[in-house]
Structures are given as C-alpha cells and as structure tokens.
Amino acid sequence: MSLCRKSFGTLSSGEDVSLYLLESGEYMASWSDYGASWLSLVMPDARGVKDDVLLGFSSFSPYAAKHPYFGATVGRFANRIAGASFSLAGKEYNLFSNDGENHLHGGRRGFGRRLWKGTMDTIDGNPSVRFSLDSADGEEGYPGNLHVAVTVTLDRTGELGIFYEAEADSLTPLNLTNHAYFNLAGEGSSTILEHELLLRCGRYLPVGASLIPLPGEPVEVNGTPFDFRKSKKIGDDIGTSLSGYDHCFIVDSLLADEPFAVATEKKRGRRLSVATTSPAVQFYTGNYLDGIMGKSGSVYGKHSGFCLETQYYPDSPNRPDFPSCNVEPGEIWAHSTKYRFSVL
C-alpha cells in the first residue's frame, strides 16, 4: 500500500494543482484536486499485463481546458435540468444554459472545474484521499451555502470506493456523480461495443431530442434495446438507440455492496462491478467523442469509453414525481458508489 501527492500543474490564478497516487495490491489509481477528478486506474489483465482503463489526459493542461468531463466530480447537479430553471419552496431559480436551453453538469463552471482541498489518509489500512469544497449561495444560480466532501479509497482487491457527503444551510437540490469513462481493454485500444454489460435495472427514462426525460412514469425495459438484465454486448442494439446510449436507468436494489452493474471485456480478461446507494445510473457510451487526443498518443473516437454515472434522475428539481434530490438544512446528504475491478 502506498499513497503520495505530487505537483500536477498551476491554474491561471497561481493556485497549485496536485496529483494523488493511490496504490494497493496490483491496482493503482490517480486523482486530482482539480475537479476532484479520477484520472487513472491501472490494473492487470488475465496475462498479468497492466493497462490504464480510464480515458483522460497525460498532463494537466487539457483538464483545465474544455473536455468531456473525463473523471470529474460533477455538481451541483449532474445531468440536465430542463430550461435551466426550477422552482423550490415557491421561488424560481435561473441557472446557466450550457446544453442548448438546458443546464448540464453544474453549468458554466460546475464542481468539475473547481479546485478542491485534498487531504491524504488511510481508512482500514487502505490509501484514501478526502476532497472538500464550499459552494456559496447563488453560485451557478443555486440557493444555499453548501459544503461537499468526496472521500476515495482503494483496497488491494481492486475496489475503489467513492463516498459523497454534503451539508447546506438552506434547501437546495444536489446530484453528485463521477464522470469516469471506462474501457476495460485499456484506454485508446478499441471501442467498447464488444464489452458485455449486465444492468440490474428493470426500468429506464425515455428522453426527447434534448435528452430531457419525457413526461410519465419510467418505462419497463422488457422487449426494448434498454434491457440489459441478461448480460449482452453493448453494441448489440446500440443502433436502435439514437447514436448510442445516454439514458437514465432505475436501479432495482439500492444496496451499498450488491452490484447493480457488471461490465466484462473477455479478450483481455477484465471485469468491473458497480454498487451504489443512488437511485439511478446514467449509462453513456461516449457518443460524442470525436478525435480527442488522450493519453500517450491515444485518440478517442465515438464509443471509445462508457460511463456509469450513479445519480438521481435527470431534471429532478422540475419533477415532483421523481425521488427528491434536495439537501435538507441541518441534515447530512450521503451516498456511495463502489467500483470493483477484477481479472477473469
């Protein structure tokens, strides 16, 4: 087990950005305090060859520029809010429109482009980093002063846990997730269409052209391209779902240690299992990746990676029929997601 911090870059403000390296057993992860971002996960394959299975960049400067949220902790609200506005307790709040007319992943800047405070620690003998951030009342249009903490741990079995906590001094919506892009064959090696995926999700949210959930209840996946209750290749039905998957699936069982998702890449012999306490997951297949220069000469095209963004339902602040994502003043908002990497 090892844990260290290194210099990663400098912001235009003169603030230093750090890189945190966590190593446990055969697994190594790196994170940055810029955006509380998950930058890499290095693991062996079935032959013992190690690869990085997260898409991203080799240096800091591309993370400081516009990019597809590689590994970022996004908030205050992950995913989309229709019309970049919502009403809460009888008052209307206007947000920044950064996805057509809609608000996406926290807006103009969001948590993924903020410098968090990082603190190294060990938890149960495992390397750990705690990132914390304060978001002021009115930031990006949201109400209330908010304090957020994200704690990351890595154990020798290949489980990387992300634990989210938040407190606010007034009622405010919150939806935190990590936007890591995975490719279990190794970043930059191929598309993810041959990966097999199981999702224990019996319902999903149909969306309109702007990817906002349509009115009505979640729809049963049975008989649709969204049925992953039996493991199948991601590419099997992808042509029938717009340009790929970018949809919210409702998790059947909210147990912190019971996987709701299992992704398998048989050629290299790697598996990823995911468990969460969040009510849903946005399954995204990198539909808009288009020739992005990645790590060590890699080029990321369409479907180069997939995301399993555990979260609340999109547009929840405008949908009283959806589970409430609000932080109540005086209460702790808490969720966890655990990613277990393993070799077949």
The stretches of the chain forming alpha helices (DSSP H) are 61-64
Nearest alpha-carbon partner for 282 in 247, 312, 244: 247
Tell me the pLDDT tens digit for each residue of 150-167: 999 999 999 999 999 999
Q: Is the per-residue pLDDT at 215 higher than 90? A: yes
CA distance 110 to 176: 11
CA-atom Rg of the chain in angstroms: 19
**Could you tell me which residues come within 8 angstroms of residue 281 by beta carbon, excluding any fewer than 6 positions away?**
199, 201, 248, 249, 251, 260, 261, 274, 308, 309, 310, 311
- 128 vs 125: CA distance, rounded Å: 9
Give the model's pLDDT for residue 253.
Answer: 80
Selected catalytic residue, list 103, 105, 179, 303: 179
Instruction: State yes or no: pLDDT of 242 exceeds 90.
Output: no
pTM of the model: 0.97
Three-class SS of residue 59?
coil
| CA distance linking residue 50 with residue 324, whole number of Å | 41
187 is catalytic: no
Marked catalytic residue, from 105, 195, 309, 335: 309
Answer CATH for 2-343 from 1.10.287.3510, 2.40.50.140, 2.60.40.1080, 2.70.98.10 = 2.70.98.10
Residue 258 is predicted with a pLDDT of 86
How does residue 239 score in pLDDT terms, banded at 50, 70 and 90? confident
Is 303 marked active-site? no
Averaged pLDDT, 201-226: 96
Q: Which residue do the tokens 């955006």 mark? A: 35
